[in-house]
Structure formats: C-alpha cells, structure tokens
Amino acid sequence: MSDTTYAVFEELSKRGHEQVVFCSDEASGLKAIIAIHDTILGPALGGCRMFPYASEKEALTDVLRLSRGMTYKAAVSGLDLGGGKSVIIGDPKKQKSELLFRALGRFIEGLGGRYITAEDSGTTMQDMEFMRKETSHVVGISRSFGGSGDPSPVTALGVFSGIQAAVEEHLGKSSLAGLRVAVQGVGHVGYHLVGHLVRAGCKVIVADVDQDSLKKTCTDHKVESVAVDKIYDVECDIFAPCAMGASINEGTIPRLKCSIIAGAANNQLLNEKTDAAMLATKGILYAPDYVINAGGLINVSNELQGYNQEYALQQAEGIYDILKNVFVVAKRENIPTFRAADDLAMQRIEAIQRVRRTYTGMKPTLERTRLRGA
C-alpha cells in the first residue's frame, strides 16, 4: 500500500469513513483493521471477520465495504447504531488463539466504545468471549454470559416476516399457504426459515452442498431437495437465497421461475444495478438483502440494553413493516428496491443529524454525497 499504488485517505473520503485503525501485535501475530464508517446514529457495530486475505489492500477494501454496509443496515432497521467492522488477516483454521483475540480486544477497548464488535465469518462465540476478557465492547456472546447466543433463529424469523411483506406486496396475498418456496442453503438460517415456511403451509424445495445439513432439514421438516445447481430452475413463487453472496447474477436470473427473491444471504446481487434491472424486466420483486436479513444485527444489538429474546423477536418481526415501506418508496419513486432501502437509511441519518444540529448547534460531520460514496 505505498503512496503511489494506494491512496488510503482518498479511499476513506470517497466512502465517507470516519476512522480506520490498523492493529498490529507481534506477540500474538495479530494483523487487523478496524473501520468505523459512521457514528451519527450511535456507536459503530459490526462483526469481526477472519480471512486469509491475499493482500493488505484486499483486507482494507473489504473492511471499508463491509463497515459502510453496516451503517445502512442499522439505519434502515431503526437502530441507534452506526456502521463498523473489523477484519483479521489470517487463516481461521490455523491462526486462531486466545492471545490473538485478546490483543484485538485491547485495541477495541482503546476506542472507548466507538466500535462494538461481534461474530462474523471466520470467528465464533468463543472468540468473542476471549475479546470480552479485554473489552466490554463486544456482543454476540453466549447466553450463559448474559449474551444473545446464536442469532440465526432471529434472522430466520426476520426473513420469514420479510417474505410475508413481499408476498402481500407482489402477490396480493395475506397468507403464505400453498405457495412454493425454493431455499438455497439450509445452514443456520435456512434450516429455521424452512421450519417457519412449512408451518405456514408452504411447499418448500431445498438445496445444499452439505449433505448433513440437507438430510437434517429434509428429515426434520419433511421437505424435498434438488441438486445444488437445479435450485435456480425450480418453478416457485419465492426464491430464498440463504447460502453465499452473488447467487443472483446475469447467469442465474434468466433461469429463475419465481415472482419474488427474498432470503438471508448477504450481497445477493452480483452487480446491483444491472441485476436489479434484469429482475425488474422479468417482473421479479427483490427484497433488499440487508433489510430482510437484519434480524441478526437486531438480535445482538439487544445485548446493549440487556438481552431479552422476546423483544428481539418482536423487533425482527418489524422487518415486515420496514420492507413494506421500502416497496412503497421504490414504487413511488420508480427506483429499484435496493436503491429505495439506501435512500430510507440515508434519510434517517440525515434527519437525526438535523435534529442534533438544531438542538445543539453541532455542525454536521457528514454530507450526503460523502456518505453515499462510491
């Protein structure tokens, strides 16, 4: 990342980041980056990802992108939180240790609560508990420590509520009974989502690369499966991506035989603009991923006030109303649903910022163009 190859400050200002912290600890081998995108609504909350990034630039680009996404997710979900994320450069299968996570915990403690961490891909609840020995600014810890535990059931309930909103909007139905749903990926979230759908009277078809997950889902919920690549061709009302990102793209969209895309996976569209346009042409309604899958964030954020599962579940069900509003705005403004979600998130941040300015005389710290960034 020399001056001539990578302009770090230019990157930060382009995307509107407030602060980026590079963390190095020789004793534990820690190499990590914490990115705080925006704290207008509250402290920046976002998970800690561990991944063997090929380069420091790749790690920085990822943490900048992910932390910015968290700002939008928290804002559209009505949470009083900003957006942040951290990444550890390393192989989660080989390079984890108590020392490593305690070292990162100390860096997080040094930020005095501006950044709150949580579990993400490559990290576990155990890793969060190591960090908790050094900082209180960590959520997603186990129920036995007063934490919120596994967020997946809450995420699944949020996705289910979002599917109900999409069905009412696009198919004009208040019940899911009799609808066909293709679920791609039946891991932590997909498994629970299938349970909700079956109880609601849907006919569910699933696919997963992992035979154990597939067998468990098919046995427990009595649903049928198809081969991994065939899931795109299933005739259905709803396609629910609950595996990896980018499964909706120019190669898969022509194959889809659904009316609605609504699932848990992050970054479902490979190329937001062109994929959204292709979906619109096919008359498919897309429930923006970061809106419909916000149950996990909602769940961990509840730890900050003292975890109450009943309240977290109730809040996750609120995704129904949030998504309905996204659809209303998209229709009214004639814009894609992902853009409507971004606009709603942005409007909330701006409104809070205006209130602060009015009542405290504070100057705004961020302009709309900066926050939207690239």
The residues annotated with a catalytic role in the active site are: 85
Nearer to ligand NAD, 67 or 155 (CB): 155
Phi and psi at residue 310, in whole multiples of 5°?
-60, -45
Strand partners, 184: 207, 241
Which amino acid is residue 260, in one-letter code?
Answer: I
Q: How far is the CB of 174 from ligand NAD (least distance, A)?
A: 26
CB under 8 Å to 311, separation ≥6 — which residues? 302
* Smaller CB separation from ligand NAD, 293 or 301: 293
Give the span between the Cα atoms of 309 and 329, in whole angstroms.
Answer: 31
Q: Which is nearer to ligand NAD, 64 or 294 (CB)?
A: 294
Q: 103 with 30: CB under 8 angstroms?
A: yes
Amino acid identity of residue 21, one-letter, is V
C-alpha span between 255 and 156 (Å, rounded):
25
Sort strands 82-89 and 44-45 into parallel, antiparallel or unpaired. parallel
152/259 with CB nearer ligand NAD: 152
Cβ 139 to ligand NAD shortest distance, Å: 13
Measured from the CB of residue 210, what is the shortest distance to ligand NAD in angstroms? 3
Q: Do 292 and 158 touch, CB atoms closer than 8 A?
A: yes
Contact criterion met (CB below 8 Å) for 200 and 174? no
Tell me how far, at minimum, the Cβ of 270 lies from ligand NAD, in Å.
Answer: 14
CA gap 124, 138 in Å, rounded = 12
30 or 300, CB closer to ligand NAD?
300
Residues 74-90, buried b or exposed e (16+ Cβ, 10 A)? bbbbbbebbbbbbbbbb
Closest CA to 151 of 44, 265, 309: 309
Q: Which residues bind ligand NAD (CB under 6 A)?
A: 151-152, 155, 184-190, 207-210, 213, 228, 242-245, 264-266, 293, 296
Rg (CA), the chain: 20
Amino acid at 165: A
Report the nearest approach of ligand NAD to the CB of residue 107 (Å): 24
At closest approach, how far in Å is the CB of 316 from ligand NAD? Answer: 10
Residue nearest to ligand NAD (CB): 187
Q: Smaller CB distance to ligand NAD: residue 103 or 236?
A: 236
